[in-house]
Amino acid sequence: MEEFDKAQLTYSHQGLNLSLTPIKYIIEQYPTPFYLYSQKILEKNYLEFYNKAIENNLKAMVCFAVKSNNNKHLLKSLAKLGAGADIVSGGELKAALKAGLPAEKIVFSGVGKTKDEILLGLKEDIKSFNVESVEELELINKLAKKLNATAKVAFRLNPKVHAKTHKHISTGYKTHKFGILADDILKTVNDKQYWSHTKLVGLSVHIGSQLTDLDATKEAIINACECANKLPHPLEFIDVGGGLGVNYSPNTHAPTIDTYMKLVAEAVSHYKKEVEVVFEPGRRIAASCGFFVTSVIRSKMSEDCRFLIVDGGMNDFVRPSLYDAYHEVLAGHDNGDLIETDIVGPICETADCFATKRQLPILKYKDFVVIADTGAYGHTMSSTYNMRSQPIEIFLTNKGKLKV
Ligand code: LLP
């Protein structure tokens, strides 16, 4: 194992400086396709995020968005570093608790929480139900009464802003199903029928994902603060959601975490009272720690189009098919000239394509390629389409151990 320790996975995005030795070693033991996560990169990302919040004088709680990656080893690592969780289902709540993410640091988002999910959250006494409709609040109050409990709730504000991102992952305008408009929050807060067994502790906003332009984020947080200033009681926290983008390609320019934290600190200062700031990042913590590793089945030419057919498919990793997402593709072997290549999977859809027109060396059967930055919304969105197995996940610890 000593040799392997020395060859710890290192990765720098722009230089594509991925040390492939460990992957070669792992491939001998596990069949492709698989996801490989680096604890080192994960922890670096989390600590940078948390520490920058503290440096910018925020009383911060970082609740990792479990929907982006629910791998048990990854969640355990984050729990050890003091993270909380942003969850959207009973399944995620159970996974978070099992990994040691404590209930008092768990916020529960989502427009369709069911009765059973709410009961589970009440039983565990989570930090907050981030309520997305008046009907949901009514149900939480009713269920809490039955249990003779008090539910802590935060309104999710729909701030009516336009986030500049893919339309499938933009969530902050009135035409989107998320959150409650400010006027409705202010009406509901004064209506006693909803508050016998609920306590309003926070206000949250989340306007979208893979955000690289933060103007709408700032506007949304300021809208939340203005709404909070009109509430009859001080809040314990303002939850600014997740959404900070990552540099999937050299042409993407996501803000630095420091820039983001400065913007959040400025925006949150519009709330007139001292308040904790809750963050719900997923992608910025998990994306760059993950590598999707897939092997070549064969290649083919179609006049001047060259296809590299790999054993991973859109069921394993769907972001390119669903959002036209760009991910770097790294060849496991470098044997000379580069040639323009489309990297495609075996599934019977033209959408089953990871990348087009990439300069790659000529690869042959069993050579592998790595799709980078796949630690967020990779495995969690995988399926069994075409009756395929879901890919395994391998967690590479700081000590060079592999945990499956
Ligand atoms: N909080 C809430 C309420 C959310 O809905 C989300 C993501 C997050 C936090 C975390 O956002 P992040 O920091 O990861 O951007 N499958 C899509 C992304 C969907 C995001 C859904 N909500 C993708 O692969 O791009």
pLDDT level of residue 19 (50, 70, 90 thresholds): low
Torsion angles phi and psi, residue 186, rounded to 5: -65, -30
Catalytic residue flag (residue 348):
yes
Task: Tell me, in angstroms, the distance from the centre of ligand 1 to residue 25's CA.
Answer: 33
Mutate to test the pocket of ligand 1, among 45, 46, 66, 68 (most ligand atoms within 8 A of CB): 68
Q: Per mean pLDDT, which range of 71-75, 380-384, 399-403 is the poorest? A: 399-403
Any idea what DSSP says for residue 89? S
**Closest-lying ligand 1 atom to the alpha carbon of residue 109:** 3
Nearest residue to 103 via CA among 63, 69, 50, 142: 63
Cα angle 206, 39, 28 (rounded to 5 degrees) comes to 125
Answer whether residue 15 shows pLDDT above 80. Answer: no
pLDDT tier at 170, thresholds 50, 70, 90 = confident
Query: For residue range 201-249, what is the model confidence (pLDDT) as tens digits?
Result: 999 999 999 999 999 999 999 999 999 999 999 999 999 999 999 999 9
Buried b (16+ CB within 10 A) or exposed e, 327-354: bbbbbbbeeeeeeebbbbbebeeeebbb
| Ligand 1 touching residue 323 (CB < 6 A) | yes
Computed over every residue of the chain, the mean pLDDT equals 93
Residue 178 · residue 159 · CB < 8 Å: no
Q: For the residues 247-270, what does the mean pLDDT come to?
A: 97
318's tokens: 């769907």
What is the reported pLDDT for 21? 56
Radius of gyration of the chain (CA): 22
pLDDT of residue 173: 81
pLDDT bracket for residue 164 (50, 70, 90) = confident
Other CB atoms within 10 A of residue 241 CB: 30
Query: How much is the average pLDDT of 72-97?
Result: 98
Q: How confident is the model at residue 25 (pLDDT cuts 50, 70, 90)?
A: confident
Is any atom of ligand 1 closer than 6 Å to the C-beta of 32?
no
Mean pLDDT confidence for 369-381:
96
DSSP 238: E
- What is the separation, in whole angstroms, between the first and last Cα of the chain? 17
Lowest mean pLDDT among 220-224, 251-255, 287-291, 334-338: 334-338
| Average pLDDT of the segment spanning 331-352 | 91
Exposure on the CB side of residue 266, measured as CA atoms within 13 A: 11
Nearest CA to ligand 1 atom 23: 377
How confident is the model over 38-83, as pLDDT tens digits? 999 999 999 999 999 999 999 999 999 999 999 999 999 999 999 9
CA of 191 to the centre of ligand 1 (A): 32
Among 209, 221, 381, say which to mutate for ligand 1: greatest number of ligand atoms within 8 Å of CB.
Answer: 209
